[in-house]
Structure 1
């Protein structure tokens, strides 16, 4: 019971309310019982008091000799005495003073007084009223005592009722005060602390204010739970703050690493890295990755020793230049003496360009993030070396291609012209040996030799111009406009018009060069040989994605045998057309002049067509 009261506010308040109700009920029940017990006290006092009056009446009636009236009054007095006993709170045999006095009155009445009155009434004893009244005085005094006893009993009950009412009032006041005190101590004060703590928690303070409630009831349990919850939240908050700081630091390091990798990649894309730059990048990487001892050995794929060895810090103490292959080929973490060595080969496409070595103390290990950054840096260095090697190879290939182009151009132009001149010289020597030197024939051969030399010289100049030609920012259109300006300056009597509508077509450099040379060759033939005053150049794209090029003039038109002398450029145009997988046609226009037409499908259109076919 006490344990439940101590552990439950509800049970405690319920107990106080129950006690208050019990006190009130007890007071009401006691009042009712006392009131009920005192219900006949007034009647008993009245009846006892009426005995004196009847005694005086009998003292006056008996000496007069009225036996009947005397007996009636005597019976009435007897009945009243019995009635007094019946409404009393005691029995005739009790030891209470009132019971003792009642028995004395009954004995006097039944043994002395009533017989005396009956004798006086019948005349057996001669007594007057005064004498008889004097004889009744002891009896009347006993009746007065009995009346006093009944009055005292009634007063005692009233006093008891007062005591019960005062006691119940005091108990009620005490219980109300105790209830208010317990509510103040066990409910109001703890609730204030809980509210204050709840507000501090709502403001984010989980540790400053603690609830000092040590009770075992519901509020105490709630206080302990809130304190525990606050401690857990505060601990989690501190742990989260530490984790956030750690993650922020990691993000900062990752940002620095990403920024380093971005700048390194951008620098690699700009051109080759020199040894001094590699040393600078290596030092910056060590600072970003928080590493002290790094070795960067660079080797040729065919070499057995590094051509460049960059060391940062103490480097690898176990480095043995005589055994570089074992270091380059390994990719693991090994303990070597007082160091733990991590190796990251610079390898791409089964070609090894060296190794990046990181050394730490033998009793420590690199974090996964540091190993990943080392691998990424090694990959970047490998990519830089591979790109440099690829650029050099591309330059070699470009140089060889350029030499092949020069050889082809010389073969297709000067070689043919010189062959033609050699044929004319052979004709001249043959005519000389035969002794048949016809002046007209010699003049014809000399004329052809002169024309051939002029053609060869012109072709040489055109080749020099072609080899020096570069397509700048203006692209194909810009170089064509420059060529047209040159024609207009050299031949102001000829109008050269350009219709260029290939701005939205992504031509490859190979396609641009061949288109440029083809258009230049056709336009030069029109300017130099057409004898007209108008040249129209058109470059447009048709609906079938094919590029259509035409060069028209209003001159005398092409001859019946254009493949003969002075038309070596046509064969060159045919070869360029075949290189672009296109179709070239040269025809005489009905309105006069010559038209050179060329059609081909660009590479981007062919690739798109292949994608469509594979998708379908």
Structure 2
């Protein structure tokens, strides 16, 4: 029984199933009882009808006996016996039955068998004379008993109907009660918990992982409620943990963004120009605030020095630093422990050259996170890049200065020095003419005229050299400076029509290529303007086949002489040298229509790089093809 009660308490299905089973049992019992009662009352009406027939037949039998009709009396007597026998069969009262109905039936049978039947037979046979009133009195007494028997059968039938009605009413009440309990159980144990669960599920769907679940039961829905409650608690806890992790990650990303922004601004500042040591201190302070590292040392050294020329400290710095072992400190890497501090060193090294060290000091019981180490390393690399860029810029300026001096020396040697040498020769000739006894005034006048022409040429060359040395490829590039040069020629020589055709806007030329190409064009155009004696000069810079660049200067003057190495043509050797520096081809020729044409062509650096890459790819493909054929 305890197991059944436990099962009822723990299972909604079992409770509802039990209620349905009880309802079915009551319905079936009601139907069975109705059937049994109706079956038992099936012959009650027949018994009443037979009893009434016995009563009517008794009066007929009395009349027939009085008339002396023996045959009729005998037949009616047999009929009445038969009716009583039927009543006995229908009633089937056992001998042990002591009920009133059984006693009344036995009294009727006894009265008939022992008194009425013998009396009526004797009267009909004439064996006994009896008055009609007396015979009728016997018959009435017998009929009275029969009437009592009819009433008994009627009462029995009414009791069965009443019992059937009670059974039906009890079944109806029990059915209604069970239906009510079933509906109540469904409402309390199923509908209300389901409504609460659905409401909780909607709350969970809206993001509220703490729904109010008040159901406490041991059945299936109670188990489901407990499961959802525990699951909601786990989800809520997980959600809160994820929110905390998201906040932490967001904080870390914000910090990383700030550090990246710092590194970007530092890199942009480094790219803008030299970052001197005094300017590093605010950058060091900002880096310390971003990373939360309060004690930093930045020692800057020359590659060959052993002590720092500048020592920047933020916070307390390295308390154990005595500037006695700077070489080993700057070349050390990784963590170390000194006094009450843990030191992390990040050398400023590039190309096997040491420029100092960045030292981070922490309490002895504290470690540096990997992310902080990466940030320190990146900051050290940025400082190293700034120093190397400064050193490289200085080296490039030295090289540029030396190259510029070499160019100036070469230009002076190839132009002004030759003119001065020519003037020196003329002065020597003049001295020889003046030392003799016979002075040839015509020769002296010729020498003086040549000296004047030489001085004019030297002065002109000096001005051209000054213009060349002041030349810069400013914003706008090669096209802009060529346009300005053409404008200067037009202002100085308005009688000469100078045209410029420039179509190299889509070709990326290096600064070195632009300088040499500019000098070539200026040298050729100067020769055309000053020495061609023409009135038209055409300058063209055009792209050609094979990714080559073509530059040409044409004039319609007298044409180049057969001996261009004579005076005023010394710039051609300079143009040849510039052409060789660009790896190009320079051609100077006399035009068939008159005048001179200086043409130059070369392959730019970007095109040479592409051709080299294509050649390397072709060689690699051929090597793979050869290897595949060899393997076959």
- Does the pair score TM above 0.5? yes
Alignment map for 1:42-441 (pairs within 5 Å): 42-62=45-65, 64-134=67-137, 139-207=142-210, 209-423=211-425
Q: 1:121, 1:283 → 2: CA distance? A: 153
Q: Distance in 2 between matches of 1:401 and 1:422?
A: 29
* Alignment of 1:21 onto 2:29: no
Superimposed CA distance per residue, residues 440-497 of structure 1 (whole angstroms, 9 cap, x where no aligned partner): 6666656555544444443333323322222222433333343344444444444444
Secondary structure class of the residue paired with 2:545: coil
- SS across alignment from 1:321: coil
1:519 deviates by: 3.0
Alpha-carbon separation, structure 2, partners of 1:541 and 1:43: 135
Secondary structure class of the residue paired with 1:127: coil
User: Closer, same or farther in 2 for the Cα pair 1:366/1:71, shift >3 Å?
Assistant: same
CA distance in 1, matches of 2:158, 2:213: 58
Residue 266 of structure 1 deviates from its aligned partner by 0.6
Residue pair 1:85, 1:91 contacting (<8 A) in 2 also = no
Q: CA deviation at 1:48?
A: 2.9
Q: CA deviation at 1:438?
A: 6.6
Q: CA deviation at 1:346?
A: 1.5
Range with bigger deviation, 214-223 or 158-167: 214-223
Does residue 595 (structure 1) correspond to residue 597 (structure 2)? The answer is yes
Q: Aligned partners of 1:361, 1:228: CA distance in 2, in Å?
A: 45
Work out which of the residue numbers 30, 34, 38 in structure 2 matches 1:35.
38
Aligned length: 615
Instruction: Give SS of 1:188's match.
Output: helix
Partner of 2:581: 579
User: Would the aligned equivalents of 1:297 and 1:355 in 2 still touch at CA under 8 Å?
Assistant: yes
Alpha-carbon deviation of 1:86? Answer: 0.3
Q: How far apart in 2 are the matches of 1:16 and 1:121?
A: 71
Deviations 1:271-294 (A, max 9, x none): 111222211011111111122111
Q: Distance in 2 between matches of 1:544 and 1:148?
A: 140
**1:114–1:380 CA distance, 2 compared to 1 (3 A):** same
User: Could you tell me which of 465, 468, 472 is aligned with 1:466?
Assistant: 468
Q: 1:433 to 1:152 in 2, by over 3 A?
A: same
Where structure 2 has 5 or more consecutive residues not aligned to the other structure, the ranges are: 619-632
For residues 375-397 of structure 1, the C-alpha deviation after alignment (integer angstroms, 9 at most, x for no partner) is 21111111111111111111111
User: 2 CA distance for matches of 1:125 and 1:367?
Assistant: 143
CA shift in 2, pair 1:97/1:279, >3 Å:
same
Q: Secondary structure at the match of 1:354?
A: strand
Partner SS state of residue 91, structure 2: coil
Aligned position for 1:546: 548
Contact 1:298 1:353 in 2 (8 A): yes
Q: Tell whether the 8 Å contact from 1:58 to 1:74 is kept in structure 2 after alignment.
A: yes
| CA apart distance, 1:85 | 0.6
> Within 2, Cα distance between the matches of 1:59 and 1:151?
26
| Shift of residue 185, structure 1, vs aligned partner | 1.8
1:109 to 1:499, Cα distance in 2 relative to 1, 3 A: closer
Q: State the alpha-carbon separation in 1 of the partners of residues 516 and 292 from structure 2.
A: 55
Tell me the distance in 1 between the aligned counterparts of 2:121 and 2:479.
Answer: 172
**Distance in 2, Cα, partners of 1:500 & 1:54:** 154
Instruction: Give the 3-state SS of the residue equivalent to 2:209 in structure 1.
Output: coil
Q: Distance in 2 between matches of 1:268 and 1:61?
A: 154
Q: 2-side partners of 1:379 and 1:402: how far apart?
A: 33
How far the C-alpha of 1:142 sits from its partner, in A, is: 4.1
With normalisation by structure 1, the TM-score equals 0.89
Q: Distance in 2 between matches of 1:148 and 1:533?
A: 163
Q: 1:301 to 1:65 in 2, by over 3 A?
A: same
Q: Helix, strand or coil: the match of 1:504?
A: coil
Quote the Cα distance in structure 2 between the aligned partners of 1:489 and 1:41. Answer: 152
Q: Report SS of the residue matched to 1:345.
A: strand
CA distance in 1, matches of 2:538, 2:73: 178
Mapped partners of 1:72, 1:491: distance in 2:
178
- TM-score, scaled to structure 2: 0.87
* CA distance in 2: counterparts of 1:402 and 1:447, whole angstroms: 35
The verdict on how the C-alpha distance between 1:475 and 1:61 changes in structure 2, with shifts beyond 3 A counting, is: closer
Deviations 1:324-376 (A, max 9, x none): 23322222233444333222222222222122222223333233322222221
> How far does residue 408 in structure 1 lie from its aligned partner after superposition?
1.7
Q: 1:160 to 1:509 in 2, by over 3 A?
A: closer
Does structure 2 conserve the Cα–Cα contact (< 8 Å) formed by 1:93 and 1:99?
Answer: no
**For each residue in 1:145-203, what CA deviation from the matched residue of structure 2 results, as whole angstroms up to 9, or x when unmatched?**
43333233222212212211221222222223222322322233223323433333343
Output the CA distance in 1 between the equivalents of 2:383 and 2:25.
95
CA distance in 1, matches of 2:411, 2:399: 18
> Greater shift after overlay, 472-481 or 371-380?
472-481
Distance 1:46 1:595 in 2: 157
* Aligned with 2:502 (options 483, 497, 500): 500
Other-structure match for 2:623: none
Alpha carbons 1:413, 1:572 under 8 Å: kept: no
Give the direction of change, closer, same or farther, for the CA distance of 1:228–1:89 in structure 2 (3 Å limit): farther
